Structures are given as C-alpha cells and as structure tokens.
Amino acid sequence: MERMLVVVFDSETKAYEGKSALRQLEREGSVAAYAGAVVVKNADGTTSVKQFDDFGPVGGLVGTSVGSLIGLLGGPAGLAVGAASGLALGAIFDLENARVGTDFVDDVSKSLTPAKVALIAEIEEDWTTPVDTRMEALGGTVLRRALSDVEEDVRQKDIAAMKADLAQLKAEASKARADRRAKLQSRIDQLKKRIDAQQQAAKERRDAFQARQKSKKEILKKNAAAAGRALKDLANTRL
C-alpha cells in the first residue's frame, strides 16, 4: 500500500539516522521509498527543508505528495527552503498533490513542534512493523496515512458538471432571440475554454502519475530481488 510516512524526532541527528534506517529497510526489501525529506520546525514557527532525496528514479520533490505535504506544513509565508535543497517555494507548494486529508496534516503539525525534526517519505509497505520497530528504536514518533486520489475524482466531477452546464447553454441558445443568443454564445465560449483547460490539466496529471507509477514499479522489482536474495541468504545460514 502506498502511504505517506512522517517520523518526528527530537534532533536532526536522529532524523538522519531514521533516513538511513529507511534506506536499509528498502535494501532489505521491507519497503519501497520513492521520495523523502528531512524537515525542521524552527523556533519562530517556520519550516525548513534541510535535505531531500530521490530514493529511486522517480524525480525530485516537485509535484510529489511529499513536496505538497511540506508546503502544507510550512504554508506560503512559513516555509524556508534550505539553499542546499535546490528547491523553490512555488515548486513544492501544491495543494492538489497532497493526497492526504487535512486531519493528517493537522496531526503532523501538532507533532512537529518547534525544534522538532521530521523525516517525511512516500513509501510502499505491506506491513507496518519493520518501519515502526526501526523508527521507535531511534526515539521517533511515527505517523502514516494511505495516499488517495480524491483530487482527481473531484476534478472529473467538476468537468462533468461544466459539460452539463454547457449542454444546457447550447440548448437555450438554440431557442433564444438573436440578442440573447449572442450573450449565451459568449458564455458558451468561456465555458468551453474552462473545460479545455481542466481537461488538459487532468491529462498532464494522469501522464505524470503514469510516469511515476512506471518508475515505482521498477523500484518494486528491485526490492523484490533484494528480498529474494535476503531470503536465500537466510536459508543458507548455518545455525
């Protein structure tokens, strides 16, 4: 299952140890990690991205659920992106890509208090014990949420509603007087442009999603191979 993982630590040192532990779990085949970041809540309430990683060939934080969650945690005025990260504020603050509920964002915000540090990652895991065991051993507080595609459903419903409005306007225009028909045609043209823009945005998001899913499959294949090797080594281990 695809999940958003957030582990809150008391220090940057522990957060980096948590990141290393997540990498080790990936090598063992216990999880697949697609993108991640280490984020600090500053004393003044702002949020800083200290480090981010591409755990596989999926790309950077731009357009990812991780980047969107960071943007939600920091907000437009409260996010200080570290120079070493190579990220721009506008690139990661995207509400539509979050794929988690506002309640989860609230839970993370309550845990990520000033001076706390969070490891945030988009992962695939079949069970929670491996991650929980490693992170709790490091003193981390684990929060996770299954990722959803609610936003795409909402977008498609919006497009369907606009198409219904368009059909009604066309029906009215076909029966209206010339002066009224001209006004209706103007509204029809505007609505068509909005529908085209929404459909293009939906297509771009679907294309990006499919590209990321393809890359994720490659990561899962790699992890399956790693897990197979680990099982083989275990079977050959002498007692």
Domain ranges of the chain: 2-147, 151-222
Give me the tens of pLDDT residue by residue for the chain, a chain 239 residues long: 888 999 999 999 999 999 999 989 988 888 888 778 899 988 877 788 887 765 444 445 555 678 778 878 875 444 444 433 444 444 444 545 667 778 888 899 899 999 999 999 988 888 899 999 999 999 999 999 888 755 566 678 788 888 999 999 999 999 888 888 888 999 999 999 989 988 887 787 677 666 666 665 666 566 655 555 544 544 554 44
Helix then strand count (H, E) for the chain reads 7, 6
Provide the pLDDT for residue 198. 84
Integer Cα distance of 65 and 45 in angstroms? 22
Strand order in the sheet with 47-54: 79-81, 47-54, 31-41, 117-125, 2-9, 141-146
What phi and psi, each to the nearest 5 degrees, are found at residue 110?
Answer: -70, -35
Provide the pLDDT for residue 230. 46
Question: What are the residues whose beta carbons fall under 8 Å from the beta carbon of 10, sequence distance 6 or more?
Answer: 115, 116, 117, 139
